[in-house]
Structure 1
């Protein structure tokens, strides 16, 4: 694997300046003129908006040769030196080449704008196929969901372990995993958190991500690592199995947990597998594979980052290696935690009218 890192570093500095200074290629990367992307997206028409997030809007477009593209128009680029930082980070992203990572086609910079150009993914995102698909459109069957799980894991493993410097995603979720024409998953938006933050002069790093997907230590300290991505991946697995959002306030109507993680953990303790799996699957799934995926998700979302597996370990577990041992250890920890909680209940003799919320105390305990 060291060889791959050396190749990444060498390739990083390979670029070609073309006579027309509007186009610079880092390897195969193209520098677009603003006018080209303006025409491609019909002047960034709202009707071409594919999505919107913390990094800006994404527009569908088409080049003169008919190639369909997705143009991400970034925000927060008004600071001095922003263009140099942007180009430096674009170089890093451009050398991260893997079948399960969204390939960067090119970029565009002006005094006030920073844009990234990607190939258009005709099957949109995993989140769309889980929750937003239109009547008559195919849903993700169980085999497709398994491919999403393993493909996303391999893409993140590559970012963490085979790129130099390593890239931490910081916003892993079903909406950021796209599907190509063959429903093969590709991880998008990788490197963007660092790309946006690299221009900041403040020592404090702004927390980037989506509530419900953010690891607790990242939320409390602002410090991210590979294990924050592992947490996000675990939540994404729960999305894939259940079809639900990471946060759903409608569950409050049933006096249930708002966070998908807490909701699933409760059902898992009760052994209620049928209530966990997405109803859209119409019972067309392998129960043993669902149990395996749920176990991996719960291992990935442990409260302490040191207890979570690495993405290479996740890949091995998905391939059937080492899960049983890790899961047995997790169960022992959970049993101890539950016993400690029950002893605390008995000690304080909670009453129905207590001002303290027992569920809140349970959730704040070590996981």
Structure 2
């Protein structure tokens, strides 16, 4: 899978006492027998809480950046001792339902394929374990020389927890039988002694999260809409085209991975759940997921339905429109929760422009942005029944990547930008407007604006930056 250029996000980090009674260790590392000292900063993850991690697969240097995602709610511990994990191994072996197309790897194969799990091969870290880049035969399981054969992402399992085994099994079960262009492909697995590893296709452009929040260059509008459409197709397949409906349950930017052409693919099925069938409207389950993305009715009642995924999609679509995270405590008061801050503006055809990602600098479709904002509002409805089905979301998004009516040529947008530039300049100079006057350092001065409203001078019109170029093939 394609992994992000930053350390993997961990929604809930808890600590675990060393067996020798030493200091507590935190962070993310996976306990593997033969890894040696492949990272100086390794530590183990305690899965005793319902932390979830989006797994990013793109080359990157290990970092110490802390996660901003948080779990929906803490749950009772499911962590067992090493002895308990070992004793449960036969049970999990019996439960493993392996699809015929999956390849079965030996641990030594994957050790050699990742060059002994060396730090230079590390792609990401998370609650599940760590992910390494590797190279295997095109149609086999044997390791090959780096840069040849098939490039893969090898995800290891932290063996210190029953929940980890369950999520590993869920990954194999769902991705082993679900094949779709917008789902990350599971190549194979390794189950040997206490080792549990998964082998995915490598996703070179990493996660949507990295492109939205960690890159200096903004993601172009057309690419954002292309990604939204691809992710929507993946969810629509799970809800309505799979043999049995599947609820993804953990849809967020870190779990949307991108291939070389920015095609979106859903990853990390550890929390996926089979959906209701027949007359049932939901399944009842323990609340797990990530703050800011989980549907409110699911958080309150534990009732999970496909409309829970639709809400999460609305949050991610809003993140793509605004360039803001779903939860950000570094924002001013009233802006910490993205949905609550943006909701009043989504239905207003004029004010919603003000919440769009300023880094786009007008390089977005006016009609496309309006339709996307309206769609986000529908997906984020407090009433689950009022939310659209994902197949309807797909139909709404289909034309948006190709619309050419750029806001940079819109008179209204230019006026809005001018007002914003004047406001920023006034704030920088300690000036604020008050009832037709300009107040500088507490002393009122007559405003230079005409009675008919502010008139921007040519020097106050911002010069739009060239549209960011994105290679699409």
TM superposition score normalised by structure 1: 0.69
1:33 pairs with 2:106: yes
Tell me the secondary structure at the aligned position of residue 186 of structure 1. strand
* Aligned position for 1:126: 208
- Unaligned stretches of 5+ in structure 2? 1-96, 137-142, 274-282, 401-473
* Cα displacement (A) at 1:299: 0.7
1:102 maps onto 2:184 in alignment: yes
Equivalence for 2:385: 306
Query: Offset of 1:74 from its aligned partner?
Result: 3.3
Match of 1:266 in 2: 344
Please tell me the root mean square deviation across aligned C-alpha atoms, in Å: 2.9
Describe the superposition over 1:180-218 as per-residue Cα deviations: whole angstroms up to 9, x where unpaired: 1111111112x32148xxxxxxx9844332110111122
Pair 1:113 & 2:195 matched = yes
Separation of aligned partners in 2, 1:274 and 1:194 = 35
Q: CA, structure 1 residues 297+49, in 2 after alignment: closer, same or farther (shift >3 Å)?
A: farther
Q: Does residue 151 of structure 2 align to residue 72 of structure 1?
A: no
Query: Which residue in the other structure is 1:60 paired with?
Result: 133
SS in structure 2 at match of 1:263: helix
| Cα drift, residue 219 of structure 1 | 1.5
SS in 2 for 1:128: helix
Deviations 1:128-179 (A, max 9, x none): 111112x5xx542111111111111111100111112222111111111111
Q: Secondary structure at the match of 1:192?
A: coil
Q: How does 1:1-367 map to 2 (within 5 A)?
A: 26-63=99-136, 64-65=143-144, 66=148, 67-75=150-158, 78-79=161-162, 90-133=172-215, 135=216, 139-189=218-268, 191-194=269-272, 205-252=285-332, 255-268=333-346, 271-319=350-398
Of the structure 1 ranges 111-120 and 209-218, higher mean CA displacement relative to structure 2 is found in 111-120
**Partner Cα separation in structure 2 for residue 31 and residue 48 of structure 1:** 21
Q: SS in structure 2 opposite 1:123?
A: coil
The offset of 1:27, in angstroms, is 3.2
Partners in 2 of 1:224 and 1:95 — Cα distance?
22
Q: Structure 2 CA distance, aligned partners of 1:187 and 1:87? A: 17
Inter-partner Cα distance in structure 2 for 1:312 and 1:269: 22
Alpha-carbon separation, structure 1, partners of 2:169 and 2:328:
38
Indicate conservation of the 8 Å contact 2:347/2:374, yes or no: no
Contact 1:247 1:258 in 2 (8 A): yes
Query: Take 2:171 and 2:244, find their aligned partners in 1: how far apart are those partners?
Result: 11
| Distance (Å, rounded) in 1 between the aligned partners of 2:204 and 2:175 | 22
CA distance in 1, matches of 2:236, 2:284: 27
Q: Distance in 2 between matches of 1:119 and 1:274?
A: 38
- Pairs aligned (count): 284
Deviation track 1:255-293 (CA, whole Å, cap 9, x = no partner) reads 222111111113436743333221222210001101111
Per the alignment, do residues 127 and 220 of structure 1 end up closer, same or farther by CA in structure 2, a change over 3 Å counting? same
Deviation at 1:320, TM superposition (A): 6.5
Q: 1:173·1:233 contact (CA, 8 Å) conserved in 2?
A: yes
Conserved 8 A contact 1:77-1:112:
no
Contact 1:77 1:113 in 2 (8 A): no
Q: Structure 1: how far apart are the matches of 2:293 and 2:351?
A: 23
Q: Which whole-Å CA distance do the structure 1 matches of 2:303 and 2:334 have between them?
A: 31
- Secondary structure at the aligned position of 1:249 is classed as coil
Indicate conservation of the 8 Å contact 2:285/2:304, yes or no: no
TM-aligned CA distance change 1:45 to 1:168, over 3 Å: farther
Q: Structure 2 vs 1, CA of residues 207 and 108 (structure 1 numbering), >3 Å: closer, same or farther?
A: farther
Decide whether aligned partners of structure 1 residues 222 and 25 sit closer, same or farther in structure 2, where only a CA change above 3 A counts.
Answer: closer
